[in-house]
Amino acid sequence: MWSTTLTRTLSFNTALMSAAVILAAVLGGGVLLIARRIFSRRKALRSLSYPASLMRGKTVIVTGANSGIGKATAAELLKLQARVIMACRDRRRAEEAAQDIKNQAGANQGELVIKNLDLASLQSVRSFCEEVIREEPRIDVLINNAGLYQCPYSRTEEGYEMQLGVNLLGHYLLTNLLLDLLKQSAPSRIVVVSSKLYKYGSINFEDLNSEQNYNKAFCYSQSKLANLLFTRELACRLDGTGVTVNALTPGIVRTRLGRHVNIPLLIKPLFLLVSWLFFKSPLEGAQTPLYLACSPEVEGVSGKCFANCEEEQLLSKATDDHTAKRLWDLSESMVGLRR
């Protein structure tokens, strides 16, 4: 009896303390939230400084354009009167996002097109590229935005570790198959979305496909480092073609990217508060890809990485030409471009 009462008392006290912590966090963060929202709005309006017709007559492909940074980027490009191709895996979600984007874009908007693309299937990538080459006379910008973050172990259609397959190999094949059209459309641009978490990765050539061991955090960081090395090698190969390629690290953004991360139920309210206080909104996160896609300031700039619309200095492992070349050659073989 005494033990049961004690247990109930401790449980009540624990719940009370948890509620107090959450309440204190909410009250204590109120002022910061207001300041954050005011400051964020000022930053988010940066895209409005571009001329309204800046992208008229230009065609832009955005992978993963149905949510998060990709959706926000597509929306801003549509406002700038671009022809935006939403390259998405889930047709239903893409159509819902497209309707939302159109409703927000206003009267003088560009054109929005949905095409199916599953980066976890190299056959899907090939089919997408065949359709684009057949139907589109030009591609002015390719934004490699889609990605997976710390998902449970799974494999792509071809048997590659999912984060490596989607974040690197799918985009590697996509970019290479569209290069001729991009060159014909020059001056044109390629934008690669990486992450600051590249700092915690390395290219494990001995087990690139994680067949011996799978660490979801390492594999994500490895794939984002691979994005930067891909950008560096591609920039060298495109020198003199009129096609530029640059990478970016968007920072921490409130998107569905972290949907595979399990947050304890008790901590979730506090996490949501912190995310609203300190994480970027998707529109804020979209400012750097938008900048690299259309700003005159980066015309002719290639092989660089940007953060907050400014050039970012990378760690030496992200600028290693030998590793970049080795990874390029291996990727070429893995996606079937090297016979």
Catalytic residue among 50, 160, 198, 220: 220
Closest CA to 69 of 227, 195, 246: 195
- CA separation for the pair 122, 335 (Å, rounded): 7
Closest CA to 230 of 182, 177, 168: 168
> b or e along 259-280 (b: 16 or more beta carbons within 10 Å of the residue's beta carbon)?
eeeeeeeeeebbeebeebeebb
- CA separation for the pair 102, 118 (Å, rounded): 23
- CA separation for the pair 328, 110 (Å, rounded): 35
Measured from the Cβ of residue 7, the count of other Cβ atoms closer than 10 Å reads: 10
Cα dihedral sign for 103, 105, 109, 112?
negative
214 is catalytic: no
Closest CA to 182 of 124, 119, 237: 237
Contact residues for 23 (Cβ-Cβ < 8 A; gap 6+): none
- Annotated catalytic residues are 220
